[in-house]
């Protein structure tokens, strides 16, 4: 009997872990992890910003005629309002990545709502419109998030491949992304490092410089999440 109970508990724990972090899981909140195929498009996304190095990233994107979606932390946006406006002015999409980048597992719904609402309001004040996309920090979703997303009319977004650019050198980041460079893929990189001021994102910048020409050579358009989700 105890062995059956132990196995059942392990199975339940495994399911809960997948439901919270599985890229294709829809249990706690609906989310997209890839886009519509047949259009030769890839969505490039950046989390945790803005940072002091985001303007350099914007220059790289502009030089390569690429668009992206920036999932910004509200606290960083409030610290660097001019950078948020620059992202919007360059025609990129801005999404909600919570106010303070917490893990949401075991977080009360009221706190989840506060994190998302505060960021919605900050971005709307800076750019004139609230985000329509949301990405959970660490990819962790939890009870109550789906209700909050519906209240705020937010579409959840995961990723097809994550670059691990916060720990890997640029060549390794590039290889990870290029291996997954298929029509409809959503790439996840980071133009910030959680809430650090002036973080070192050189690996991210170098990887983006390397992959964009190669993606274009594959006849893949680099664009925003909304562009690859539209029907």
Per-residue model confidence as pLDDT tens digits over 141-197: 999 999 999 999 999 999 999 999 999 999 999 999 999 999 999 999 999 999 999
- Residue 9: the pLDDT is 47
For 100-141, write each residue's pLDDT tens digit: 999 999 999 999 999 999 999 999 999 999 999 999 999 999
The pLDDT confidence band at residue 12, using thresholds 50, 70 and 90, is low
- Residue 8: the pLDDT is 46
The pLDDT confidence band at residue 5, using thresholds 50, 70 and 90, is very low
Domains and CATH numbers, the chain: 2-229 (3.20.20.370)
As a whole number of Å, the end-to-end CA separation of the chain is 51
CA angle 87/181/231 to nearest 5° reads: 65
**Rounded-to-integer distance, Cα 33 and Cα 230, Å:** 14
Question: What percentage of the chain exceeds 90 in pLDDT?
Answer: 85
Residues 6+ apart with CB under 8 A from 168: 176, 203
The pLDDT confidence band at residue 200, using thresholds 50, 70 and 90, is very high
In terms of DSSP H, where are the helices of 128-220?
Answer: 145-152, 170-179, 202-217
Q: Across the strands, what pairs with 133?
A: 155
10-14, 40-44, 154-158, 218-222: the lowest-pLDDT one: 10-14
Reduce the DSSP state of residue 99 to 3 states and report it. Answer: coil
Closest CA to 186 of 23, 2, 30, 33: 33
Could you tell me which residue, 6 or 223, shows the higher pLDDT?
223
Could you tell me which residue, 230 or 87, shows the higher pLDDT?
87
- Residue 3: the pLDDT is 46
What rounded mean pLDDT belongs to the chain? Answer: 94
Q: What are the residue numbers of the active site?
A: 47, 190
């Amino acid at each position: 009997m105890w062995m059956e109970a132990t196995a059942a508990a392990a199975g339940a724990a495994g399911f809960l872990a997948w439901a919270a972090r599985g890229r294709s899981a829809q249990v706690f909140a609906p989310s997209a992890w890839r886009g519509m195929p047949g259009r030769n498009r890839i969505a490039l996304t950046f989390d945790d910003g803005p940072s002091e190095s985001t303007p350099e990233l914007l220059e790289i994107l502009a030089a390569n005629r690429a668009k992206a979606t920036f999932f910004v932390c509200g606290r960083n946006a409030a610290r660097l309002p001019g950078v948020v406006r620059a992202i919007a002015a360059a025609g990129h999409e801005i999404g909600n990545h919570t106010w303070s980048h917490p893990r949401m597992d075991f977080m009360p719904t009221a706190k989840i709502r506060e994190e998302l609402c505060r960021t919605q309001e900050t971005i709307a004040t800076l750019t004139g419109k609230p985000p329509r996309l949301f990405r959970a920090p660490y990819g962790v979703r939890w009870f109550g998030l789906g209700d909050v997303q519906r209240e705020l009319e937010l579409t959840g977004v995961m990723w097809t491949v994550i670059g691990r650019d916060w720990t890997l050198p640029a060549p390794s980041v590039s290889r990870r992304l290029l291996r997954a460079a298929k029509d409809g893929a959503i790439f996840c990189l980071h133009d910030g490092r959680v809430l650090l001021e002036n973080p070192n994102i050189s690996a991210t910048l170098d990887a983006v410089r390397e992959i964009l020409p190669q993606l274009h050579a594959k006849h893949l358009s680099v664009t925003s999440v909304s562009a690859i989700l539209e029907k």
